[in-house]
Amino acid sequence: MCRRHRPLPIATLRAALEALQTDAFRQACSTANSNAAELGKDADSLTGLSREVLLKSALDLYDGTACPVCDTPFEPYVFQDHLARKLAHFDDVSKRRTALEAELKPVLDRLHAAGTALKIMIDCASLLSPKIDASELAKFRTVLRGQYEQLQKLFPIEDTRAVLAAIHIVPDLEPTMAALDATIVAIPEPTAALERIYKEVEAGFASYYQKVRMTKALSPQGSCPRSASSAST
């Protein structure tokens, strides 16, 4: 496919960076941030979700007199009600965490798309002639990678909220992208390159045959022609 009929990598990068700054994306990050804040209020429950299994086991092992974990005496209904409320709260926190992780999925996808587009252009910059300084692209890619990793692990919640609040901030990469764009556009089309090569070859042969004709014209009259055998060597 001709280059002018397919999207250039620089266009893909610009689109990926613009996607981080749209109003819809900002709103999605803001909503996720608010939900993360609410979830953060249950910090003890978040860090104690593994206790849910223990509580369920305690409920199964309860002998009707005392808690099987701490040996505290409990009336049957009191113990069951106590654990049921704790388990219900853990279940609610777990569902809210799952919902937040689902909200973060499209955010992660945008970050991944931008990071991938940056990597392609960073690699491309090193192959161009003249080479383009892509250090600013590399710096921002490092920032995006850090943001991506934080959203993936989710905790600490405060760090995730900080990422969501700043994720739409994109540095001015236009000077680097403009340099890349100009250099890429200057690369000749494959057909144009071949045409230039053909013309250079034709010019070379024309010059060669001109020199041959001039040599023959300046040869002494009556010189013996070369034998077929010598001409072939």
**Cβ contact 179:132 at 8 Å:** yes
- CA dihedral sign of residues 206, 212, 215, 220: negative
Question: Is the pLDDT reported for residue 199 higher than 80?
Answer: no
Nearest to 46 by CA among 154, 159, 163, 162: 154
Mean pLDDT of 193-216: 58
Backbone angles phi, psi at 66, to 5 degrees: -145, 155
Mean pLDDT of 154-175: 96
Which pLDDT tens digit goes with each residue over 79-110? 778 777 877 888 888 889 999 999 999 999 99
Least confident of 4-13, 83-92, 110-119: 4-13
pLDDT confidence bin for 186, thresholds 50/70/90? confident
Count Cα atoms within 13 angstroms, Cβ side, for 93.
21
Question: Is the pLDDT reported for residue 53 higher than 70?
Answer: no
Q: Which two tokens stand for residue 87?
A: 């388990």
Strands (E), 92-220: none
Count Cα atoms within 13 angstroms, Cβ side, for 193.
7
Question: Which residues, in sequence order, are CB contacts of 166 under 8 Å at separation 6+?
Answer: none
- Checking 30-38 for CB contacts under 8 A at 24+ apart, the result is 30/164, 31/103, 32/100, 32/103, 32/104, 32/107, 32/164, 33/161, 33/164, 33/165, 35/96, 35/99, 35/100, 35/103, 36/100, 36/157, 36/160, 36/161, 36/164, 37/157, 37/161, 38/96
d(CA 104, CA 23): 16
d(CA 17, CA 168): 9
- Report which of residues 163 and 41 the model is more confident about: 163
pLDDT confidence bin for 139, thresholds 50/70/90? very high
Domain ranges of the chain: 3-187, 190-220
User: What is the percent of the chain with per-residue pLDDT over 90, rounded to a whole number?
Assistant: 45
d(CA 90, CA 171): 41
The overall longest dimension of the chain from CA atoms, in Å, is: 132
Model's pTM, two decimal places?
Answer: 0.69
C-alpha distances out from residue 189 to 19, 59, 131, 184, 198, Å: 30, 73, 19, 11, 14
d(CA 32, CA 208): 73
Backbone angles phi, psi at 73, to 5 degrees: -65, 135
Q: What angle do CA 55, 60, 66 make, to 5 degrees?
A: 80
- Report which of residues 201 and 111 the model is more confident about: 111
